[in-house]
Amino acid sequence: METLRETLVALVDLQRLEDELRDLRVAKAELEAMRRDNAEALAGFDAMLAAQVERIDETKTFYAEKEQEIHETEDNTKRSRARLTHITNQRELTALNKELDAQRRQIQQRNEELLKLMEELDAAEADRQKKQDARQTLQSQMVALEAELAGRVEVREGRAAEQMKRRAEIRAVLDRQLVARFDRIAKARDGVGVADVVDGTCSGCKIQVPPQQFIRLQRMESIEQCPSCVRILVYFTGVDGLSAGGPEVAAQSAE
């Protein structure tokens, strides 16, 4: 490093690269969690739908059984009627009429049951269809959200190799002890070893820096650390002015 200002520029670059690379790690973890959560939610939905289909199938089986019972009773009725011609006395006729009555009532009752079952089936089927549609909508939304996040991860991943290369370059030219200090602070402070100063306040811990230190920070002639969180403090606005076009620009943007 030629000058202290160059060191400050390098420190800010280093922190920004660390931020970018951390954002990539966070986005990747988010994507993984999102895919896992979505798959779980869909599996839950599918299990619910499968249980519903099973109940509908059971009702259909029950319906078929009732229908079969009606057919059997109708066959019995036919046989009973056939016996009418062989009847020889009133007692037999009364008994046969009683039998036919019972069969008619049974058929009527079964038909009422069938009607009720049919209504139940229609309602269950409509509900199943509604849930099926909801599942499709949910899945489409999930796919869209996953794709959006995956796209952002991809963009970041595309930049990561270059960012890691630049990070290594900056670390190589910076003073080794300063890099070690940066690493120590970053490790203890959520990966942020270098903090900006905004309106006289450390952006790392949001605590005001002493006015004298703020003046020194604006001069960009020393390595300063926040008295509260010990992060290396850099006046980013001034540093950005330096890399944009020299001290004059820095002076302007500092105003």
Contact set with Zn ion (CB under 5 A): 202, 204-205, 226, 228-229
Residues 66 and 103: beta-carbon distance below 8 Å: no
Q: How far is the CB of 196 from Zn ion (least distance, A)?
A: 10
Residues 214 and 200: beta-carbon distance below 8 Å: yes
Residue 24 or 232 having the CB closest to Zn ion: 232
Q: How far is the CB of 185 from Zn ion (least distance, A)?
A: 10
Q: How far is the CB of 226 from Zn ion (least distance, A)?
A: 3
Residue 102 or 229 having the CB closest to Zn ion: 229
Q: How far is the CB of 132 from Zn ion (least distance, A)?
A: 55
Residue 27 or 194 having the CB closest to Zn ion: 194
Instruction: Specify which residues 108 forms β-bridges with.
Output: none
**What's the CA gap between 131 and 13, in Å, rounded?**
52
Q: How far is the CB of 232 from Zn ion (least distance, A)?
A: 10
**What's the CA gap between 57 and 94, in Å, rounded?**
43
The neighbour count for residue 232, using CB atoms within 10 Å, is 23
Q: Which two tokens stand for residue 92?
A: 């037999």
Q: Which two tokens stand for residue 159?
A: 């930049």
DSSP-H helix ranges across the chain:
4-83, 90-173, 176-188, 211-219, 236-245, 247-254
**What's the CA gap between 28 and 56, in Å, rounded?**
42
Residue 24 or 192 having the CB closest to Zn ion: 192
- Amino acid identity, residue 115? L
Q: Which two tokens stand for residue 236?
A: 């980013």
Radius of gyration of the chain (CA): 40
Q: How far is the CB of 200 from Zn ion (least distance, A)?
A: 12
Residue 38 or 203 having the CB closest to Zn ion: 203
Residue 10 or 226 having the CB closest to Zn ion: 226
